[in-house]
Amino acid sequence: MINLRDLKKVKTYDDLENLGIGKVYCDISYRGGGIGFYAEDVARAFDVCESDLPSKFGTGCNYLGGGLRGSIFGSDFSKEITDRKAQLLNALSDACVRVYENIDNEEIENNTMEGIARVDNVKSAY
């Protein structure tokens, strides 16, 4: 079972994978993107109804146009999910935001604003 302590420790893509929730989707570029998990995996891991979650759960970032990246935001979920499960889902969303920011900051520091897409542990620039 995933606990709050484990979620608060998450800082990297590998940390997300190591949670064992399911396949991590990652699509981050200077035009926004997102990182997280698919709803069916999150629903199973946290014992909640899949229909109470967005199709992808984690974090996203919008694109404002003209090369301007917008804000990074975490996923939300139905008000039907309460108490401990809501606390855990909020912590998962926060963890995904931290990972997104770390990847984004790493790209800025390395001056590689190409973006990355990871599927099944394959990292590719586009």
Could you report the per-residue pLDDT of 24-48, keeping only the tens digit for each? 999 987 778 999 999 999 999 999 9
In a domain, 108, yes or no: yes
In a domain, 126, yes or no: no
Confidence of residue 111 (pLDDT cuts 50, 70, 90): low
Range of the domain at 33: 4-118
pLDDT of residue 119: 44
pLDDT of residue 32: 84
* Contact of 77 with 53, CB cutoff 8 Å: yes
* Contact of 36 with 103, CB cutoff 8 Å: no
In a domain, 124, yes or no: no
Q: How many folded domains does the chain comprise?
A: 1
Beta strand 68-74 with 56-65 is antiparallel
pLDDT digits (tens, 9 = 90+) for 45-83: 999 999 999 999 999 998 888 877 788 999 999 999 999
pTM of the predicted model, to two decimals? 0.84
117 has a pLDDT exceeding 70: no
In a domain, 71, yes or no: yes
